[in-house]
Structure 1
Amino acid sequence: MDLRPNSDEARDIAYHFHGYTNARAHEEQGPLIMERGEGVHVFDTQGNRYIEGMAGLWSVAVGFNETRLIDAAHNQMRKLPYYHNFAHRSHGPAIDLAEKLIEIAPVPMDKVFFTNSGSEANDTILKMLWYRSNAMGKPEKKKVISRMRGYHGVTIASASMTGLPNNHRSFDLPIEGILHTTCPHYWREGRDGESEEAFATRCADDLEAMIEAEGAETIAAFIAEPVMGAGGVVVPPATYWSKIQAVLKRHDILLIADEVICGFGRTGRMFGSQTYDMQPDILTMSKQITSSYFPFSAFMMTKDVYDPIADESDRIGVLGHGYTAGAHPVGAAVALENIRIIQERDLVANAAERGGELQAGLAAFAAHPLVGEARGVGLIAALELVAPEGRDTEFAPGKLGAHMNSIFLRNGLVSRNMLDAMAFCPPLIISQSEISDILRIVEKSLAAFGDDIK
C-alpha cells in the first residue's frame, strides 16, 4: 500500500525541512506554495496573485519571468554547462563578468573572487583576512567588528558576524574574534534630546572605544551593510559613514561593504557605497547579481588587499581555498545578462524614481497611531509597527509584525516582518501604478490591523 501524502502541502510537511521557519509550527500550519511569477507578481497554487513586495528575498531585480535570463542560462547550458576555476582553469563568462564588475565598481578594485551565496562570500572574506594578516607578519590582526542587528549570512563565520540573537542562540555563536558595535538606528537607539548627527558621532565614538579597548593591532576589518536589511531596514543617520570611515582610517582597519542587498540599484545608485560615499576595501555581492535566477555571489578587493594574499599563495605554492561551483559558467552568464538589463533599461534610475514615490507614500502613514516610524531609501523601506498607547506589554516583540504579515498576504502583498518592522523591497522593474497598488494595500491593511487589535 502506498502511504505517501497525496497533496503538495502534505508532502512538504512530510519531507521538507525549511530555513527561517518554526519547524513544529510548520507541521501544523503547512506552506504557502508559489507556482509561477510574472513581473512583480507571484501566484500560488490556488491562483491567488500577490505583489512580491520583497523581490523574493531582497533579490529579484528584473521580475519573475525575464526571458533574457532564461535564455542566457539555456544557451550557456548548451555550450558549457559546468566548469571550475581551480588550477589555472577559466572560461569566458567568468572572465567577462569579472571585467564587468571591476568596470562598474564604486571605487577602484583589483580582483574578483566568485562564490555561491552571500553567506559563503562573507565566510571566505574572513578566511582571506586571516590569510592576509599572516602573510603580512601580523598574526594578531584577525578580529572583525560588525554591528548589532547587522546581517552577513548564516555559515558559522558569517552568522557570527551577523548581529541578530536568533542567528546565535543554540548554535554556540558567535565565534571568538567577532565583535559587535552600536546599531545605527536613530529612531530606536537615539537618546532623548540627541540630534541625528550627535547620534552618528556617538556611534563613531563607540566604535573607536571598542578598537582602543581591543587594540587596533588586533582588528583586521569592519563589516557593514550600507543600509541594514534583515536587521529592520536601518538607514544610517546623517554623517554616520563619514565619521565611521574616519575612525577606520585612523586605525588602519579595512572596510568591508556588504552589498548583498544594496548592490545593483536597490538604493537608487548602482551600489549603496555610492549612495553613502563609502570607500570600501572589499565589497560583497549576491542576490541581485543574478536576480536570484541562479545561486551566485562574488566579492571584489583592492590591490592593497589582494597583493599580500597573492604573495602568500606564492610562498606556500597554492591558495588552498575554492568552491566546486565557484564562478559557475551558467551563473556568470546569467549575471552578465542581468547587469545588461539593469543598465539598458536604466533600472537604477527607476529605483530612485519609484523609490521616491514609495518612500513618500509610506511616510504618509507615519502619523498613524500604530506606526512608529517609516524609513528607507530607494526601493528598500520599512514601516515599524507599535502597540496602541498604553498596551505595550500585551504584545511580545514580533507579534504585531506577524499579524500584519498575514493581513498583507490576505490583501495580496508579500512582505516580511523583522520583528515588528514590515519590509518593502520590490523588484526594480516596478511601475508607478504598482507602487500605488502597494500603498493602497498598506492603507487597507492598517485599517484592518487597527480593527483586529482594538
Structure 2
Amino acid sequence: MNRMTADFAQLNSGMEKARVPAARTTAEYRVLDAAHHIHPFTDMDSLNFKGSRVITEAQGVYLKDSDGNRIIDGMAGLWCVNVGYGRKELIDAATRQLHALPFYNTFFQSTHPPVIELSALLAELVPGDFSHFFYCNSGSEGNDTVLRIVHQYWIARGKPSRKYVISRENAYHGSTIAGATLGGMVGMHNQMLSRVEFIEYIGQPCYFGEAGAGMTPEEFGLLRARELEAKILELGAENVGAFIGEPFQGAGGVIVPPSTYWPEIERICRKYDVLLVADEVIGGFGRTGEWFAHQHFGFEPDLITMAKGLTSGYVPMGAVGVHARIATELAKGGVFTHGVTYSGHPVAAAVAVANLHVLRDERIIERVKADTGPYFQRKLREALAGHPLVGEVAGVGLVAGIQIADAARGKALDNGYEAAIACRDASYDLNLIMRPTGDRMTLSPPLIVSHGEIDEIVTKAKAAVDAAARQSGFA
C-alpha cells in the first residue's frame, strides 16, 4: 500500500467512525427524545416527566437498555419478533439484498426476484387456495387494502351496492383512519373527527363479563355469532360486502372466542355470500401453534391480512392474502387503482423469505403447538389460579390475556385500567415486558422461548399482578 492509499484509507476510516453517533447517557437520550419524538399511543406529558426507557440491544428473548438492565421480552416487541432477536439469517438476507437491489417499485409493470420468491413461498404455506398476495408496509395498510379489495371485488361482480363491512366492538384493525374505523375501539373513535363510511359493528365474543347468567361458553359463542346474521338482515344482504375479525382479538386483550363462534360466523357468511376476512396480523405465522390462527379456530377466510410475524418485525412489511376465487374476479375488474411506494419492497421481501424459512425449517411452529405453547398456558394458569385480582386467563399457544378483576365477585373493576397500569409498571421494575390493554394484561413472547424463559416470564408476571393487587387493596 503506497502512502497516498494509506492516507485515504485512514481518512475513510475516520469518516466511517464519524458517521456513527457517539453513545449518550440515558439522561441525554431522554432529553432528546422528549424534545423531538412523539410516541404512538402515549400520554407525552406523562412520559416526558418520567423519561423513556431506552432499549439499545437485543438477543434471543432478551433486551438490554441504556442502563445495562437485562429485560425479558414477554411481548415479542409488539406481538411480532417471532423468531427472536439477532437471527443472522435475516440480517444477512437484508444485507445481501441491500447490496444487490436496495429498492425498486412494483409499479411500471415491473417486479423483482425477492417479491416473486416470497409470493410463491406464501402460496405454499398459507392453507387453502390462496394464490395471490398484495404487499404494503403494515397491518394498518393491509386492512386499508382489504377495504379496497372488497369494494373492487363487488364492483367486478356487478354488485356495487355491497358496500358495508361489518366488524366488532373492541376489535383492532390498525390506526389509520380506515383501519381505526374498521376497529371497534371507542377510545380511538372519540379522537377521530372523520370516519370511513359503511362500517358497522356487532358485539365481541368475550365470555367474561358479557355472557348471561348460567350461559355456557358454547351458547354464548353462538349468540354472539348470530348477531352477524341479524346485522346482515338489518342492512340487507344485498348491501353487505364483508365481515372482518381477528381469530382472537389481540390488542383488545387476547379475547379468545368459544369453540362454537367461528364455525357459525363462517356458516352465516357463506349463507349470505358475504366475504370473510381474517385479520392475522397478530395471529399469523405461528402464534397459536398453527401457521395461521384461523386454522386453530376451524374456519377458512376469503382474505387474510398479514404483517408483524411475516418478517418477525426485522423490517416493516404487510400483506393481504387473496383466495384464488377472489383473485379471479379482481382480474376481471380492470386496473386496481391502489398501491404504496414500498409495495413489495425488495429488502423486506428478502427478509420475509429468510424468516419463513427459519420458521419452517427449524419446525418452530410445530414446537409451539406440541411443547412450549401448552407449557406456557399451563404454567401461567397454575401461577394465577385463585388470584384475587385475576378474573380469567385466556389464551392459546404463546399468547395470553389476564383479566384484571374482582375474582371473588367475578366482575371487572371500576378502576381496572389503573390496576392494569400498576401491573405494567411493576413488571417493568421486574425487567419483564407485559402490555396492558384496557383492564387486561397481555403476554406474547417470541416463539423461540424456552421452558426456563417461560418460567421466568410467569414468575415475574405473577409478582407484577401481586404488586398491583397490593396497590389496589386485593392483597
**Structure 1-normalised TM-score?**
0.95
Q: Give SS of 1:238's match.
A: coil
What letter is aligned with 1:39? Answer: G
Distance in 1, Cα, partners of 2:352 & 2:435: 26
What letter is aligned with 2:180? Answer: A
The answer to whether structure 1 residue 147 and structure 2 residue 168 are counterparts is yes
Distance in 2, Cα, partners of 1:23 & 1:264: 33
What letter is aligned with 1:252? Answer: D
Relative to structure 1, the CA distance from residue 199 to residue 39 in structure 2 (aligned partners, 3 Å threshold; closer, same or farther) is same
Distance in 2, Cα, partners of 1:382 & 1:434: 18
Does structure 2 conserve the Cα–Cα contact (< 8 Å) formed by 1:42 and 1:52?
yes
Q: 1:358 aligns with which of 376, 384, 395?
A: 376
Q: Indicate the structure (1 or 2) with the bigger Cα radius of gyration.
A: 2
Q: 2:342 aligns with which of 290, 313, 325?
A: 325
The Cα offsets for residues 37-92 of structure 1, whole Å up to 9 and x where unpaired, read as 01001011001111100001100011111111111100100011111111220000
Q: 1:66 aligns with which of 80, 87, 94?
A: 87
The Cα offsets for residues 377-426 of structure 1, whole Å up to 9 and x where unpaired, read as 00000111124868989852410100000101111110100012110100
The answer to whether structure 1 residue 187 and structure 2 residue 208 are counterparts is yes
Does structure 2 conserve the Cα–Cα contact (< 8 Å) formed by 1:354 and 1:378?
yes
Does structure 1 conserve the Cα–Cα contact (< 8 Å) formed by 2:136 and 2:319?
yes
Distance in 2, Cα, partners of 1:216 & 1:202: 20
Q: Give SS of 2:214's match.
A: coil
Match of 2:51 in 1: 30
Relative to structure 1, the CA distance from residue 434 to residue 84 in structure 2 (aligned partners, 3 Å threshold; closer, same or farther) is same
Match of 1:399 in 2: 418
Larger mean Cα displacement after TM superposition, 364-373 or 300-309? 300-309
Q: Give SS of 1:7's match.
A: helix
Q: 2:293 aligns with which of 272, 278, 287?
A: 272
Larger mean Cα displacement after TM superposition, 261-270 or 104-113? 104-113
Match of 1:420 in 2: 439
The answer to whether structure 1 residue 349 and structure 2 residue 370 are counterparts is no
Match of 1:286 in 2: 307
Does structure 1 conserve the Cα–Cα contact (< 8 Å) formed by 2:405 and 2:412?
no
What letter is aligned with 1:432? Answer: H
Larger mean Cα displacement after TM superposition, 166-175 or 182-191? 166-175
Match of 1:109 in 2: 130
Match of 1:386 in 2: 405
Distance in 2, Cα, partners of 1:349 & 1:298: 23
Q: 2:101 aligns with which of 80, 91, 94?
A: 80
What letter is aligned with 2:356? Answer: I
TM-superposed deviation, 1:347: 0.9
Relative to structure 1, the CA distance from residue 142 to residue 394 in structure 2 (aligned partners, 3 Å threshold; closer, same or farther) is closer
Match of 1:261 in 2: 282
Structure 2 portions without partners, runs of 5+: 1-25
Match of 2:320 in 1: 299
Distance in 2, Cα, partners of 1:419 & 1:303: 38
Distance in 2, Cα, partners of 1:150 & 1:228: 6
Distance in 1, Cα, partners of 2:58 & 2:470: 32
Distance in 2, Cα, partners of 1:321 & 1:419: 34
The Cα offsets for residues 283-325 of structure 1, whole Å up to 9 and x where unpaired, read as 1110000001000011111122122322121xxxx33221111
Q: How does 1:242-261 map to 2 (within 5 A)?
A: 242-261=263-282
Distance in 2, Cα, partners of 1:9 & 1:412: 19
Distance in 1, Cα, partners of 2:65 & 2:414: 31
TM-superposed deviation, 1:442: 2.0
The answer to whether structure 1 residue 309 and structure 2 residue 327 are counterparts is no
The Cα offsets for residues 177-222 of structure 1, whole Å up to 9 and x where unpaired, read as 1011110011122110111111111112211111100001111111
Larger mean Cα displacement after TM superposition, 141-150 or 20-29? 20-29
Aligned Cα RMSD in Å?
Answer: 1.7
The Cα offsets for residues 139-176 of structure 1, whole Å up to 9 and x where unpaired, read as 11011011111111111111111111122112125422
Q: 1:409 aligns with which of 428, 431, 436?
A: 428
Larger mean Cα displacement after TM superposition, 304-313 or 135-144? 304-313
What letter is aligned with 1:53? Answer: G
Percent identity over paired residues: 37
The answer to whether structure 1 residue 447 and structure 2 residue 469 are counterparts is no
Match of 1:240 in 2: 261
Relative to structure 1, the CA distance from residue 396 to residue 453 in structure 2 (aligned partners, 3 Å threshold; closer, same or farther) is closer
Q: Give SS of 1:442's match.
A: helix
Q: Give SS of 1:298's match.
A: strand
Does structure 1 conserve the Cα–Cα contact (< 8 Å) formed by 2:168 and 2:203?
yes
Q: 1:158 aligns with which of 179, 204, 207?
A: 179
Distance in 2, Cα, partners of 1:66 & 1:41: 13
Aligned residue pair count: 446
Q: Give SS of 1:153's match.
A: coil
Q: Give SS of 1:242's match.
A: helix
Q: 1:200 aligns with which of 215, 221, 231?
A: 221
